[in-house]
């Protein structure tokens, strides 16, 4: 279902700003009064001035909206720092309203406020449809004004807004999986950036989108249209830009190394992918310490990269980095965290594929309690863990042990259901042969699992 456009309230619908409009309307009405109505005697004017001296000296019909606009712009920066994205987006809407009051509907500053709102919908809320709507509106205003500016400074500022608009449109199309349209607008943003750089004699300042952002966007769009070599060149350029600006040890390089490593894996260049991930791992350890979620993530990616290479000499490295990843996740996120359990599951699959079924069984058994704590007793994930443990036991001839584990899960399901029955004072449904999660609405047939085992299935899928 297409996303509905976001409604920007008009001034008359916003009670906060009604005073500004009433004051402005009074000034307009007074300008159209008849001459004879404005002909007061000198004495009456003098008496009125004496009764309202301080008010009339200080009244400026635009001062209040200008102050409110400046306050909202400062507030947005603070809200984004505090990760209060919804409130920041509301302030961006307020800035659009105030810009219309202060500058007028057709002024480029009003278009700039719309561009900022579009960028906010993209980056703060992840709403590409709304981002595109407001970006298109701002783009049409700016294109009509471009080239007719009173000063070179205004033209430079408009080019900066155009870069933001084209980047927003490109990334919005990319979020909607439209790579061709995304690449088109990101290219326009890149050309506009070069035009602005020439006008500023090689220096670009005071814009939200950097050259690194454009290179990353172009790289992702190139990948979306299956131009892998072009995507790699853009990411290499982005890495060079970051290194030139912040050095080789900046944490900004971690995500770039991860993405470019995945591209190298698509090219089956596993050696280069491993090198990029080793660089990311080194930066993680120096920036966040060895026991951190960031290091855990990169360690897991590095383990998978070694595994994908298929080289026998890399087996030890696979095990080392899986263990490091699991240890880092356990130390920082806890043994019951989803990332920890998912990494254990990946490690167990690799162990089974490489013949170490006993090691996989021990890991699954040790993590079973964490699965139950995290997902609950009656959950498909818990049943799947027991199922995988039983599949390891069956090929070894330990049929009794495998069936015992599955029956244990049935018994746990019965106990849980009886407990829920007592707490809720309802009659039991007696679905004991199944594991049922009322939140996920998943029914996992234990007896069917046992039938599969008896048929001799031996590989974890």
Which of 138-147, 422-431, 450-459 has the largest mean confidence? Answer: 138-147
17, pLDDT greater than 70: no
Average pLDDT on 352-372 reads: 80
Per-residue pLDDT averaged across 148-174, rounded?
A: 88
Single out the residue of 116, 64, 127, 123 nearest to residue 93, CA to CA.
Answer: 116
- List residues bridging with 442 in a β-sheet: 437
CA atoms within 13 A on the CB side of 406: 27
DSSP type of residue 150: S
449 or 131, higher pLDDT: 131
Spatial separation of the C-alpha atoms in residues 326 and 342, rounded to whole Å: 9
Average pLDDT over residues 194-213: 84
**Hey, which of 294-298, 351-355, 378-382, 450-454 has the most confident mean pLDDT?**
294-298
Closest CA to 273 of 281, 264, 282: 264
pLDDT reported for residue 28: 38
pLDDT at position 308: 93
Q: Please give the share of the chain, as a percent, with pLDDT higher than 70.
A: 66
Residue 8 token pair: 């920007």
3 state DSSP class of 18 = helix
Report the pLDDT averaged over residues 178-191: 95
Mean pLDDT of the chain: 77
Annotate 265-311 with DSSP letters as a single string: HHTT-HHHHHHHHHHHHHHHHHHH-SSSHHHHHHHHHHHHHHHHH--
Range in 70-74, 130-134, 351-355, 423-427 the model is least confident about: 423-427
Convert the pLDDT of each residue in 219-234 to its tens digit.
Answer: 999 999 999 999 999 9
Please say if the pLDDT value at position 92 is more than 90: yes
Query: What integer pLDDT is reported at residue 396 of this predicted model?
Result: 53
In the structure, what pLDDT confidence band is assigned to residue 440 with cuts at 50, 70 and 90? very low
- Per-residue pLDDT at 168 exceeds 90: yes
* Cα–Cα distance for residue pair 39/194, rounded to 1 Å: 60
Low-confidence winner among 121-135, 211-225, 366-380 (lowest mean pLDDT): 366-380
Quote the pLDDT of residue 422. 54
Residue 401: per-residue pLDDT: 59
CB 224, CB 254: distance < 8 Å: no
Q: Output phi, psi for 437, to 5 deg.
A: -110, 110
What is the predicted pLDDT for the residue at 276?
96
Q: Is the pLDDT of residue 95 over 80?
A: yes
In 10 A of CB 244, how many CB atoms?
9
Higher-confidence residue: 87 or 426?
A: 87
Q: Distance between CA atoms of 345 and 461, rounded to whole angstroms?
A: 11
Query: Any idea what DSSP says for residue 232?
Result: H
């Amino acid at each position: 279902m297409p996303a509905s456009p976001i409604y920007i309230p008009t001034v008359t619908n916003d009670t906060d700003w009604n005073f500004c409009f009433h004051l402005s309307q009074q000034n307009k009405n007074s300008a159209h009064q008849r001459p004879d109505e404005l002909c007061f005697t000198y004495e009456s004017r003098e008496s009125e001035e004496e009764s309202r001296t301080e008010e009339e000296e200080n009244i400026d019909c635009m001062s209040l909206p200008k102050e409110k606009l400046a306050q909202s712009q400062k507030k947005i920066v603070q809200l984004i720092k505090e990760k209060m994205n919804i409130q920041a987006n509301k302030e961006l809407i307020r800035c659009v309203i105030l810009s219309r009051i202060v500058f007028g509907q057709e002024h480029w500053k009003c278009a700039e406020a719309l561009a900022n709102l579009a960028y906010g919908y993209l980056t703060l809320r992840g709403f590409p449809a709304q981002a595109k709507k407001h970006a298109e509106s701002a783009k049409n205003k700016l294109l009509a004004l471009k080239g007719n500016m009173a000063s070179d400074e205004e033209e430079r500022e408009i080019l900066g807004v155009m870069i933001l608009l084209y980047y927003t449109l490109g990334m919005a199309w990319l979020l909607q999986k439209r790579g061709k349209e995304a690449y088109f607008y990101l290219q326009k943003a890149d050309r506009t950036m070069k035009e602005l750089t020439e006008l500023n004699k090689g220096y670009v300042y005071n814009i939200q989108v950097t050259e690194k952002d454009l290179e990353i966007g172009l790289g992702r769009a190139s990948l979306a249209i299956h131009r892998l070599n072009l995507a790699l060149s853009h990411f290499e350029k982005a890495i060079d830009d970051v290194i030139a600006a912040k050095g080789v040890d900046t944490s900004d390089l971690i995500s770039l190394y991860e993405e470019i490593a995945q591209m190298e894996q698509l090219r089956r260049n596993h050696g280069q992918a491993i090198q990029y991930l080793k660089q990311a791992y080194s930066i993680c350890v120096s920036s966040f310490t060895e026991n951190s979620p960031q290091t855990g993530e990169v360690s897991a990616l590095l383990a998978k990269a070694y595994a994908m290479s298929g080289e026998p000499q890399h087996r030890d490295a696979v095990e080392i980095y899986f263990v490091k990843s699991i240890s880092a996740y356990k130390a920082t996120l806890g043994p019951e965290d989803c990332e920890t359990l998912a990494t254990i599951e990946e490690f167990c699959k690799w162990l089974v594929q490489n013949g170490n079924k006993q090691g996989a069984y021990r890991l699954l058994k040790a993590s079973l309690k964490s699965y139950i704590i995290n997902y609950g007793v009656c959950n498909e994930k818990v049943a799947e863990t027991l199922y995988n443990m039983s599949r390891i036991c069956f090929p070894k001839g330990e049929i009794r042990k495998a069936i015992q584990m599955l029956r244990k899960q049935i018994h746990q399901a019965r106990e849980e259901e009886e407990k829920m029955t007592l707490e809720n004072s309802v009659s039991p449904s007696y679905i004991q042969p199944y594991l049922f999660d009322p939140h996920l609405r998943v029914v996992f047939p234990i007896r069917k699992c046992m039938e599969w085992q008896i048929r001799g299935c031996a590989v974890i899928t």
